[in-house]
Structure 1
Amino acid sequence: MSLDGKVAIVTGSGRGLGLAYAQELARQGASVVVNDVDQSTADAAVASITETGGTAVAVVAPVGPTETATQLVDAAFDNYGRLDILVTNAGVLRDKTLWKMTDEDFDTVINVHLRGTFTCVREAAVRMREQAQGGRIVCIGSPTGQRGNFGQTNYAAAKAGIVGMVRTWALELKKAGITANAVIPVAATAMTETIPYFAAAMEADAKGEPMPAFFRRDLGFGTSDDVAGLIAYLASDSAAGVTGQAIGVGGDRMQLWSHPQPVVTAYRDGGWSYAALNESFDEEFGGSLQGVGETFPPLPEELQKTTESE
C-alpha cells in the first residue's frame, strides 16, 4: 500500500539508520522532513531523496527542546500542509560505566533520546489530533533498553523509557486513530565497525556483498535497509491495527517482543516477611531468575579467521 500523499518527519535522519528510514518513506511516496544537527549532512540527505524522484526538506536543529519539535512539525505543515507520520530516531551516546558516568553524560543522552522523543511526539500528536485524520508514531528503541548493556546506564534508561511511553501513547491516542509503536533495530552502524565480533559482517557490507548467513539469521544482524521496510510498513494504512508493540528487526529476522509478564507467582499466608523470604525465595524463584544483557553464540570457525585477520 503506497504512502502517496503522506507527510513524514524523521528525526536524526542525516545519516545511518535514520537516513535509510527517510529514504524508504520517500521511496514509498511520502514527502519527508529530514532532521540533523549539521547543515551539510542534512542537505546531502535531502539531495539523496530528491535526486531519485522523492520529495524532502531539512530542519537543522538538535532534538530535545520543545522549540525543535515545534519547528519540525511546522516544517511539515508549512511545506506540505499536513503531518501523517513521525519517526523519532535522533540519538547520541555517552558510554561509561556507572561509577565513571557524569551528570552531563547522563543528561545529554536522556535529553536527546527520551525527552526528544517526548517533545516531538507530543507536538505531532497535538497537530494530528487537530487534523483528525489519524496518524502513525514510530519510535526507535534498542536491545539495550530491553535487556541492558554494560556501560550504557543512560542509553538503557532512555530506550526502556521510550517503549514505556509508546505503550502509554497507544492507549491515549487510540480514539484519534493514531498508532504508536517501537522498533528495536539490530543493524550495521558506525558503532559496530569497531567490534571484532562483527568484522566479517562489516567487511561484507563495506564491499556491497551480502553478510554471512550466520549474522543475518542467527544474530538477526543486517543493514539499515533491512530495518527500513518495517518503518514504512508501520507508517502505512496497512498497519492501522498495530499499536503499542515493540518489534525487533535485523537481517533476515523479525521478532515481536512481549510486554513484561510475571514468570513465577507464589503465595504465602500472612505475606512475605524477611524470614519467609530467607526460607523460601530460592525454592520458589531461584530457578526462574531472568538473564541480563545480550549473549552471542561463538562465531563459526570460518568467520573467526576473518575476525582474527582484522
Structure 2
Amino acid sequence: MDLSNKVAIVTGSGRGLGLAYAQQLARCGASVVVNDVNAETAETAVASITAEGGKAHAVVGAVGSTETAQALVDGAVEAFGRLDILVTNAGVLRDKVMWKMSDEDFDQVLNVHMRGTFTCVRAAVIRMREQGAGGRIICIGSPAGQRGNFGQTNYSGAKAGIVGMVRTWAMELQRAGITANAVVPVAATAMTETVPFLKPYVEAMHNGEELPAFARRELGFGSPQDAAGIVAYLAGDEAAEITGQAVAVGGDRLALWSHPDMTATAYHDGGWDPDAIAGEWPVTFAEHLESVGEKLPEKATAQ
C-alpha cells in the first residue's frame, strides 16, 4: 500500500486505536497530523512515527467544535501542503443506564463523537473539494452503534448516527471523487478493557500472551494494530470504488455490516388499523423480530 504524497488527519490519535491508525498510515508513506487533547501525549505519538522514518505533526485540541476542526485542516495544510485523508477516531465514554444518565453525560459524548465527526468531515471536505483531487473520509463506528449496548444510550446513538451520516456523505461526495466509509473495530483499548467477557483477553495481551483463536476469530478481538490495516486500505487508490460501507475489523476477522433493510412486509387495503395489525402481526412479523445487543458465542457469555 503506497500512500506517498498523501496527507492524513487522525483525530484522537495520541494512543490506542487512533495511534495505530496514524502509525499505519505513516508506514504506508502518508504524512500524518496527530491529534489529542493532551500536548505531551500528542508529541509522544508524533515521536513514535518520526522514529520509524515517518512524517507527523501534532495539533492539540478537543474535537467537537468548528474551531478545532478548522485548526486540524489548517495544521495539515501548513505542515504538509494539502489534505487527502481524514480518520475521525476521537471519542469519550460516559456510560450510565438511561435513567441515571445526565444531560451532560449525553451531550458530552454526542459532542465529541457525532458533532466532532460532522465538524471535522465538513472542514476536510471543503478543503478536498477545493483541491479537486478527491479524498478519503474514514469514520470510526462501534458494534454498540450497530446493535446497541446496555448503559450506552449516548455512545450507541452517536455511533449509529455516524454510520448514518457516512451513507449520506457517500452520495453527496461521489461527484467530487471523495469516498466515505465507516470502520467498526473491536480491539483492546481503554474503551473495551472494562467489558467483562473481554477482560481475560485484555489481561492476556497486557502480559504479552498470545490470544487464542476463539478470541481472534469468533470474537473478532485483537490489538489496535490488527484494526489498522483496513484504514490504510480504504485510504488508498485501490479503494476508490468503495464508499458508503461499514466494515467490521478485529483480530483475524474482517467483515461487512449490512445496511438496514425491511425483512418482512404485508399490505392491507385502506391502511392498517390496530385490529388489522393484531391479526397480521403473529402471521407475518413475529418470527422476524430482531435481537438487540451483541450476539456472543456461548464460550464468551459463560466467562
TM class, shorter-length: over 0.9
Indicate if the aligned counterparts of 2:109 and 2:154 stay in contact, CA closer than 8 A: yes
Find the residue that maps to 2:167 and give its secondary structure.
Answer: helix
Alignment of 1:1-310 (within 5 A): 1-299=1-299
Note the alpha carbon deviations across 1:146-172, whole angstroms, 9 max, x for none.
Answer: 011111111111001100110111001
Q: CA deviation at 1:7?
A: 0.2
Q: Matched residues in 2 for 1:208 and 1:6: separation?
A: 34
Aligned-partner residue type, residue 96 of structure 1: K
Q: Matched residues in 1 for 2:196 and 2:151: separation?
A: 18
Q: Matched residues in 1 for 2:196 and 2:143: separation?
A: 19
Aligned-partner residue type, residue 283 of structure 1: V
Q: Matched residues in 1 for 2:169 and 2:34: separation?
A: 24
Find the residue that maps to 2:298 and give its secondary structure.
Answer: coil
Aligned-partner residue type, residue 252 of structure 1: D
Q: Matched residues in 1 for 2:21 and 2:64: separation?
A: 20
Alignment RMSD, CA only? 1.4
Q: TM-score, normalised by structure 1?
A: 0.95
Q: CA deviation at 1:258?
A: 1.0
Q: CA deviation at 1:204?
A: 2.6
Q: Matched residues in 2 for 1:239 and 1:41: separation?
A: 31
Indicate if the aligned counterparts of 2:93 and 2:191 stay in contact, CA closer than 8 A: no
Indicate if the aligned counterparts of 1:197 and 1:299 stay in contact, CA closer than 8 A: no
Q: Matched residues in 2 for 1:249 and 1:35: separation?
A: 23
Q: CA deviation at 1:190?
A: 1.7
Indicate if the aligned counterparts of 1:91 and 1:109 stay in contact, CA closer than 8 A: yes
Q: TM-score, normalised by structure 2?
A: 0.97
Moved over 6 A (4+): none
Q: CA deviation at 1:275?
A: 1.2
Q: Evaluate the alpha carbon distance shift between residue 153 and residue 195 of structure 1 in structure 2; reply closer, same or farther with a 3 A threshold.
A: closer
Find the residue that maps to 2:100 and give its secondary structure.
Answer: coil
Aligned-partner residue type, residue 50 of structure 1: T
Aligned-partner residue type, residue 82 of structure 1: R
Q: CA deviation at 1:32?
A: 0.3
Indicate if the aligned counterparts of 2:8 and 2:85 stay in contact, CA closer than 8 A: yes
Q: CA deviation at 1:270?
A: 1.8
Aligned-partner residue type, residue 201 of structure 1: Y
